[in-house]
């Protein structure tokens, strides 16, 4: 309660965590109704344009697969007790399992059971997207407790021609050049990988919509790999508009932030993220690009070579809970998601204001006093720093160096440099 007796307003982190909790029970995969249900919920927060791409559609070197849906699945003992129940966790079924309805001895069932012996109480996440297979995932402790005997095995699923589903949300900017923000929608009950990324992307989009950004921002919600490939195949005519991008994943654990650079390594988004993370003094790590991970590897593939990096906290496979039932809503925190969101907002604020200027009075130092620029600093606690920022902007505005270059060269905060540039532009001393 506040001092006035009112309930405090939930924070952005709490709102994001609530979204994670809401999405967590849904059984997502690379296709199917679980993806649609996820996008329907996200659509309550943002207007989405949903795309359906038919099975068999050629997308670059891939083909859109058949659509998978599941209604129920279980293993039951002779007394009818469900010893493994899909209703208890969507992780219990091997993703893309073909239907099965049989009774078999435990010895025959065992090859279709997946466990984590090192973590006997956790359920692993396993899939078989492109091979017709069936199976169950369960805790090793559950398997150890199963007696020899007959078991009823049922997976009520369908694998038929249908569609792959992805969605976009676009925030118009002052220019048609685009920044893409991408997150994957294909994992079932995994809170950090992928729901935290979905939540951060959604609230980032809401924050940007309250502004008038310079760039146009396109948010992409798509299943991993095949979804990004499908989006690229269907948007090749707009690739030249994409100037920067960020993939969000593993965005809610309590580990330090990790930024994985684009394939280029020197893309503007790489420089901006390095600067923001360093200037913020947050614990963080910057890693080189590798062709393994999330969909940055699709956007950065040589034919496209987009400047797209990836932001996470603890990277994929870097924490024991990765791809297990231990990656649940309790594993992610509102504070961590709020911190990830804050870094994204800080980075995009730099990206949106990072311009190259030309000094229109380059012969000697222009007289700032008679233009009222010194007077505008009166009373500011950082007046000396602001004055130095003006001088640095004038000195380095040669049409080649950006404001980020000025900030890095001068050691001044980017925001101070950007405000100085605004003042100098207003006085007619520089132009973009």
Find the CATH number of the domain harbouring 373. 1.10.10.10
Task: Name all contacts of 235-242 with Cβ < 8 Å and 24+ positions apart.
Answer: 238/178, 239/304, 239/306, 241/176, 241/177, 241/178, 241/216, 242/177, 242/178, 242/179, 242/180, 242/306
Which is nearest to 200 in space by CA: 335, 4, 400? 335
Two structure tokens written together for 152: 């009823």
Sign of the Cα torsion 73, 79, 83, 88 reads: positive
Which whole-number Å values give the CA distances from 114 to 123, 134, 136, 182, in the listed order?
8, 11, 6, 31
Give the number of domains in the chain.
3
Asked if residue 4 belongs to a domain, the reply is: no
Taking all residues of the chain, what is their mean pLDDT, rounded to a whole number? 95
Q: Are residues 261 and 132 in the same domain?
A: no
Q: Are residues 187 and 329 in the same domain?
A: yes
Of 126, 160, 194, the residue that ends a domain is 160
Q: Are residues 101 and 185 in the same domain?
A: no
Asked if residue 76 belongs to a domain, the reply is: yes
Q: Are residues 196 and 148 in the same domain?
A: no
Contact indicator for 181, 218 with CB cutoff of 8 Å? yes
Q: Are residues 315 and 346 in the same domain?
A: yes
Q: Are residues 190 and 201 in the same domain?
A: yes
Q: What's the pLDDT at 1?
A: 45
Q: What is the pLDDT of residues 386-404, one digit of tens each?
A: 889 999 999 999 999 999 9
Pinpoint the alpha helices (H) of 281-318: 296-299
Of 301, 325, 352, the residue that ends a domain is 352
Which whole-number Å values give the CA distances from 181 to 41, 90, 106, 211, 216, in the listed order?
19, 27, 46, 17, 11
Question: Is the model's pTM score more than 0.85?
Answer: yes
Contact indicator for 128, 98 with CB cutoff of 8 Å? no
Q: Are residues 209 and 235 in the same domain?
A: yes
Asked if residue 43 belongs to a domain, the reply is: yes
Instruction: Categorise residue 379: left if φ over 0, alpha if ψ from -120 to 50, beta otherwise.
Output: left
Asked if residue 226 belongs to a domain, the reply is: yes
Asked if residue 3 belongs to a domain, the reply is: no
Asked if residue 287 belongs to a domain, the reply is: yes
Asked if residue 1 belongs to a domain, the reply is: no
Q: Are residues 193 and 245 in the same domain?
A: yes
CATH of the domain at 193: 3.40.630.10
Q: Are residues 133 and 187 in the same domain?
A: no
CA distance 251 to 196: 5
Q: Are residues 318 and 342 in the same domain?
A: yes
CATH of the domain at 106: 3.50.30.90
Asked if residue 259 belongs to a domain, the reply is: yes
Which is nearest to 45 in space by CA: 206, 182, 172, 217? 206
Q: What is the pLDDT of residues 122-168, one digit of tens each?
A: 999 999 998 999 999 999 999 999 999 999 999 999 999 999 999 99
Contact indicator for 229, 295 with CB cutoff of 8 Å? no
Question: β-strand 284-287 against 257-260: which pairing, if any?
Answer: parallel
Q: What is the dihedral of CA 300, 286, 310, 334, to 10 degrees?
A: 180
Q: Are residues 346 and 424 in the same domain?
A: no
Domain that holds residue 127: 67-160
CA distance 155 to 161: 19
Q: Are residues 386 and 247 in the same domain?
A: no
Of 114, 139, 160, the residue that ends a domain is 160
Q: What is the mean pLDDT of each run of 10 residues along the chain (432 residues)?
A: 58 97 98 98 98 98 98 97 98 98 98 98 96 96 97 98 98 97 97 97 97 96 98 96 98 98 97 96 96 96 98 95 98 98 98 96 88 66 82 95 96 94 93 93
Q: What's the pLDDT at 5?
A: 55
Sign of the Cα torsion 204, 18, 330, 136 reads: negative
425 contact partners, CB below 8 Å, separation of at least 6: 357, 431, 432
């Amino acid at each position: 309660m506040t001092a006035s007796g009112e309930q405090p307003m939930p924070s952005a982190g709490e709102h994001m965590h609530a979204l994670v909790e809401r999405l967590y029970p849904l059984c997502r995969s690379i296709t199917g109704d679980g993806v649609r249900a996820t996008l329907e919920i996200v659509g309550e927060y943002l207007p989405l344009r949903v795309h359906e791409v038919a099975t068999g559609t050629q997308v670059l070197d891939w083909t859109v697969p058949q659509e998978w849906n599941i209604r129920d699945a279980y293993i039951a003992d002779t007394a009818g007790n469900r010893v493994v129940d899909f209703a208890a966790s969507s992780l219990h079924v091997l993703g893309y399992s073909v239907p099965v309805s049989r009774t078999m001895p435990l010895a025959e069932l065992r090859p279709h059971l997946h466990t984590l012996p090192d973590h006997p109480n956790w359920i692993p996440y396993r899939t078989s997207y492109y091979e017709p297979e069936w199976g169950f995932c369960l805790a090793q402790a559950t398997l150890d407790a199963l007696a020899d005997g007959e078991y009823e095995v049922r997976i009520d699923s369908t694998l038929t021609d249908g569609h792959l589903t992805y969605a976009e949300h676009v925030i118009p900017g002052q220019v048609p050049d685009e920044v893409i923000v991408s997150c994957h929608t294909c994992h079932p009950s995994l809170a950090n990988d992928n729901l935290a990324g979905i939540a951060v992307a959604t609230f980032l989009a809401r924050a940007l919509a309250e502004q008038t950004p310079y760039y146009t921002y396109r948010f992409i919600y798509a299943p991993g790999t095949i979804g990004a490939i499908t989006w690229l195949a269907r948007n090749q005519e707009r690739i030249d508009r994409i100037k920067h991008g960020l993939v969000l994943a593993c965005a809610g654990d309590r580990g330090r932030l990790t930024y994985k650079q684009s394939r280029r390594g020197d893309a503007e988004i790489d420089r901006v993220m390095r600067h923001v993370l360093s200037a913020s003094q947050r614990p963080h790590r910057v890693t080189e690009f590798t062709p393994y991970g999330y969909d940055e590897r699709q956007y950065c593939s040589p034919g496209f070579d987009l400047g797209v990096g990836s932001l996470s906290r603890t990277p994929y496979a870097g924490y024991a809970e990765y791809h297990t039932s231990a990656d649940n809503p309790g594993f992610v925190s509102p504070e961590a998601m709020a911190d990830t969101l804050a870094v994204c907002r800080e980075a995009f604020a730099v990206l949106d204001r990072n311009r190259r200027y030309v000094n229109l009075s380059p012969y000697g130092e222009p007289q700032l006093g008679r233009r009222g620029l010194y007077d505008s600093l009166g009373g500011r606690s950082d007046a000396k720093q602001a004055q130095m920022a003006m001088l640095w902007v004038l000195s380095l505005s040669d049409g080649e160096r950006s404001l980020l270059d000025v900030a890095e060269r001068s050691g001044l905060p980017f925001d101070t440099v950007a405000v100085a540039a605004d003042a100098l532009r207003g006085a007619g001393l520089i132009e973009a």
